[in-house]
Structure 1
Amino acid sequence: MKHGPACGIGVSREYRAMSVVILTVSEDEADIRLDRYFRRHYPHLTQGALQKLCRTGQIRVEGKRVEASTRLQPGQSVRVPPIPKAVKPAPDTPRQLDERLVREIKGMVLYQDKQVIVLNKPAGLAVQGGPGITKHVDMMLDGLRAEADDPRPRLVHRIDRDTSGLLLLARTPGVAAKLAEAFRGRDVKKTYWAVVVGRPDPLAGEIDQPLARLGAGANAIMVAADRKDEDAQYARSTYEVVDAAARKFSWLALSPLTGRTHQLRVHCESLGTPILGDPKYGGATAHVDGFKDQLHLHARELDMPHPAGGRLVVTAELPPHMRETFRALGFTPGSTPKPVRRGG
């Protein structure tokens, strides 16, 4: 019997016995459902075909019959019967990046370990590509591989192109799945800082305002929607005035409780206090002479469950245009704490 290469995090070992394949579940694949495990290793296999292979006992875990919903644990053996056209995906070949892009993406790193990377994304840099976008974070991620054969880091969530601040990456597919589940379960606490035009009343509260998409493509915007609108998306945020310059400008701490596109920007507009410099929302009110005409919205803090246990808290320094505005308005942000992981 011929054994394959030793496995590392995120890579299953395999050996072949005749036409049957035996896979060994890796540490990175802990607690993954069997159907998702097969989707990762044999993406062409349909859910119906997988369930049939389970019912007939052709797929087994540790020699036992299983269901598609069975949770797998590291070190378990998975018997894979002959699957027509079961071609393993091609190796994830690193993209050759210009050295300037490598330095740029590495310069954004605030925290990294074996499971996660946290970036401080500058304002104006898109997270992913699209019409007219030739440079974005996603195209630069190969520059964060520690070794050429390491998995390519994966985006866990998104922030707007014009928004600066914290962006979370997973080093492996398994970690990405765990973090995505944490985001869906609202176990991740996100705090944004914004400078808005005006002062909201009351000074703190919750915004429960459904949103709907208007238009399509790059010109699409989100608008406040009636709850009875069939296209309305449930959207909630909290806000608190940290400081104010009379009634002209306010520094808000915002937390999105749902994850809708442009949610905080529309919610601030719905308060009657649009975010300073917003190119899409707030109209002329959002643009004030004497201040940088850039969106003043910053993903300041992430407080999240770490995949290896405990919680990780990371804080991002304000971008230059917001530091300048803070100084002009007399707002004092204080020092930026270093990343800390508690417990685990």
Structure 2
Amino acid sequence: MRFTADPADTGQRIDQWLHAHLPDFSRSRIQEWIKSARVRVNGAAVKTSYTLRAADAVEVEPADPPPLNATAEDIPLRILYEDADVVAIDKPAGMVVHAGAGVHSGTLVNALLHRFATLSGVGGPLRPGIVHRLDRFTSGVLLVAKNDAAHQKLAAQFSGREIEKVYLALVHGTVKPETGRIERPIARDPVHRARMTARLAEGRAAWSEYRVLRRFPDFTLLEVRIGTGRTHQIRVHLASIRHPVVGDTLYGAPAQPLLGRYFLHAHRIRFHLPSGREMLIESPLPPDLEAWLGTL
């Protein structure tokens, strides 16, 4: 495909300009083409930040999309519990649960496919076994279904709010009450689309309850129980009461280079196995978070 930049296009970033001309392709996909030299301006490869000039000749060689089936990768996993129906994984911070937004390998799904012979297919070929998710930099316990029947029973418990989910979060400031409840709807931030917000009257209902576990100068360690599972829920709710999670720069916390992540850990989950037996699974605070607490 060939395009020529008009004088009115001068100053536009190449990735944004191409996205406007090729609306059937995502901007992240176009950026991948640019990085792999499949986009050339006046015969030369450019960076995604390249700004156009009038009469620039732009050539695009689209790449085939990645396969719509996840592939197995030999990635170590820590198993907290396993039976014929369910697996509880201790997910490390930094691991994406499934492919998306330009991430196609190194995910939990890739690791699961290598480790287990069968996984539920309810979530589709890109999300085998995945019943619920944790954010990329949230560590802790995550449930996986080995078959469709188990998936459906677990999903019913999640949608019915029958599963108890408890997290550990270190936040900025002194949280004065020993316990509290935040009940504010959560919606996509209309200005910063990568963020969610609890500042609008509209949105999906959400509640989070917290209990102070330990106090430090300038920080408070909380146990947080959520009754709903909205995107970024704990991070949004705690930021909404002016106590953002430590390291969570997306929601207003200062950067913590020595931590390298935000301080949020899925500590405990209580649910019923497909057999009906109640199960409580805990993931201890990982060493990096323990070490960071030790510096306070």
Q: Which residue of the partner structure matches residue 246 of structure 2?
A: 276
The number of aligned residues is: 221
Q: Distance in 2 between matches of 1:95 and 1:157?
A: 17
**Cα pair 2:72 2:112 within 8 Å, conserved:** no
SS at match of 1:97: coil
User: Post-superposition shift, 1:131?
Assistant: 2.1
The one of 141, 163, 168 equivalent to 1:188 is 163
Q: Distance in 2 between matches of 1:122 and 1:206?
A: 28
1:304 paired to 2:271: yes
The one of 185, 194, 202 equivalent to 1:220 is 194
Code of the aligned partner of 2:205: Y
SS at match of 2:135: coil
Q: Which residue of the partner structure matches residue 163 of structure 1?
A: 138
- Identity, in percent, stands at 33
Pairs within 5 Å for 1:320-339: 320-329=287-296
User: Post-superposition shift, 1:287?
Assistant: 2.9
Q: Distance in 2 between matches of 1:132 and 1:195?
A: 30
**Cα pair 2:93 2:136 within 8 Å, conserved:** yes
Runs of 4+ in 1 over 2 A off after TM superposition: 94-98, 149-153, 285-289
1:258 paired to 2:232: no
User: Post-superposition shift, 1:215?
Assistant: 5.0
Q: Which has the larger radius of gyration?
A: 1
Note the residue ranges of structure 1 that are not aligned, 5 or more in a row. Answer: 1-93, 330-344
User: Post-superposition shift, 1:151?
Assistant: 5.8
Q: Distance in 2 between matches of 1:138 and 1:323?
A: 27
Code of the aligned partner of 2:236: V
Tell me the alpha carbon deviations over residues 280-303 of structure 1, each in whole angstroms, 9 at most, x when there is no partner: 112xx43357x4131100000011
Q: Distance in 1 between matches of 2:266 and 2:222?
A: 12
| Cα RMSD after superposing both structures | 2.2
**Cα pair 1:279 1:294 within 8 Å, conserved:** no
**Cα pair 1:277 1:293 within 8 Å, conserved:** yes
**Cα pair 2:210 2:224 within 8 Å, conserved:** yes
Code of the aligned partner of 2:211: E
User: Post-superposition shift, 1:259?
Assistant: 1.1
**Cα pair 2:79 2:88 within 8 Å, conserved:** yes
| Residues 198/95 of structure 1: CA separation in 2 closer, same or farther (3 Å cut) | closer
User: Post-superposition shift, 1:261?
Assistant: 0.3
Q: Which residue of the partner structure matches residue 124 of structure 1?
A: 94
**Cα pair 2:71 2:110 within 8 Å, conserved:** no
Code of the aligned partner of 2:255: H
**Cα pair 1:243 1:250 within 8 Å, conserved:** yes
Q: Distance in 1 between matches of 2:213 and 2:266?
A: 15
Q: Which residue of the partner structure matches residue 97 of structure 1?
A: 72
**Cα pair 1:210 1:233 within 8 Å, conserved:** yes
Q: Which residue of the partner structure matches residue 32 of structure 2?
A: none
**Cα pair 1:240 1:254 within 8 Å, conserved:** yes
SS at match of 2:249: coil
TM-score (norm 2): 0.69
Pairs within 5 Å for 1:287-302: 287-288=255-256, 291-302=258-269
User: Post-superposition shift, 1:221?
Assistant: 0.8
Q: Distance in 1 between matches of 2:72 and 2:155?
A: 27
Pairs within 5 Å for 1:28-47: none
Tell me the alpha carbon deviations over residues 123-172 of structure 1, each in whole angstroms, 9 at most, x when there is no partner: 01111111231321122221232x4x776751110110010011100110
TM-score (norm 1): 0.60
Q: Which residue of the partner structure matches residue 238 of structure 1?
A: 209
**Cα pair 2:211 2:223 within 8 Å, conserved:** yes
Code of the aligned partner of 1:224: A
**Cα pair 2:246 2:263 within 8 Å, conserved:** yes
Q: Distance in 1 between matches of 2:150 and 2:272?
A: 11
SS at match of 1:155: coil
Tell me the alpha carbon deviations over residues 47-106 of structure 1, each in whole angstroms, 9 at most, x when there is no partner: xxxxxxxxxxxxxxxxxxxxxxxxxxxxxxxxxxxxxxxxxxxxxxx97634x32xx1xx
Q: Distance in 2 between matches of 1:133 and 1:150?
A: 21
The one of 140, 145, 148 equivalent to 1:173 is 148
